[in-house]
Amino acid sequence: MTGLQLVNGLASLLIVTSLLVIEAHGVRRSALYYALQSFVLVLIFVALAATVDAPRLFLWAAIAFVTKVVLVPFIMYRTLGGVEDPALAPHRLAFAWSILLGAAVVAICFVVVSTVHLPVAAALKPALAISLAHFFLGLACIVMQRNLLKQVFGYCLMENGSHLTLALMANRAPELVEIGVVTDAIFAVIIMAVIGTMIRSRLQTLDVRQLTSLRG
């Protein structure tokens, strides 16, 4: 297996882990699955760095490991691990619909990417399509999930998708770009985790349809 094939193969695992994050029962499981997904992203950075001769991606991988594999899941696990809403537990039927949605999004993104001609990513179109699909799966999670905390994970999935797109298209960008991306993500997760905890403690629900008091 060549390096480019390895990158494309690892990228496909991101879709699987996304579905696990979205449909996992409980924040702690979602946080663990997100850590697993981020570790796959780190492996993609390492494989891509070795394949396309982009040594900066090794530093990207190190930063992503500290922030995405360790720090963000730890924050979510410790801050929101005990914050649950039994009424919003996922169902098997919902997981089946998530699989169909994921397959449809991936297929559409593959069609879109196949029409794009970029020499920098000519051999990495499968990974690029999956990175776009990953972003839209995160967006779908935010729009369709009733659970407020699942929406936080949807933001994390969107960030991972955009992060992979950046690595594929601009893998020689300065390290400051990577630091800026992960710093924004960490602070966003902290703020959303605090807000989610406050909403659950005061309103006793995580169902976004019940948060009518937040409407203007």
Could you state, in order of their start, the residue ranges of all structural domains in the chain?
Answer: 3-205
Q: How many CB atoms lie within 10 A of CB 4?
A: 17
Q: How far apart are CA 49 and CA 89, in angstroms?
A: 40
In DSSP terms, 207 is beta-bridged to 147
SS3 147: strand
| Crossing angle for the helix pair 148-169 and 72-80, to the nearest 10 degrees | 180
* pLDDT given for residue 176 in this prediction: 62
* pLDDT given for residue 84 in this prediction: 65
* pLDDT given for residue 102 in this prediction: 80
Q: How far apart are CA 135 and CA 133, in angstroms?
A: 5
For the record, the structure tokens of 25 come out as: 């029962």
For the record, the structure tokens of 194 come out as: 């605090």
* pLDDT given for residue 34 in this prediction: 92
- For the chain, which residues score pLDDT lower than 70? 1, 81-95, 119-122, 172-181, 205-206, 208-209, 211-216
For the record, the structure tokens of 173 come out as: 């960008």
The number of angstroms, rounded, from the C-alpha of 201 to the middle of its chain's C-alpha atoms is: 27
Q: How far apart are CA 185 and CA 19, in angstroms?
A: 20
Provide the residue type at 112 as one letter: V
Q: How far apart are CA 39 and CA 70, in angstroms?
A: 9
Closest to 185 measured CA to CA, from 71, 20, 82: 71
* pLDDT given for residue 39 in this prediction: 95
* pLDDT given for residue 113 in this prediction: 85
* pLDDT given for residue 42 in this prediction: 92
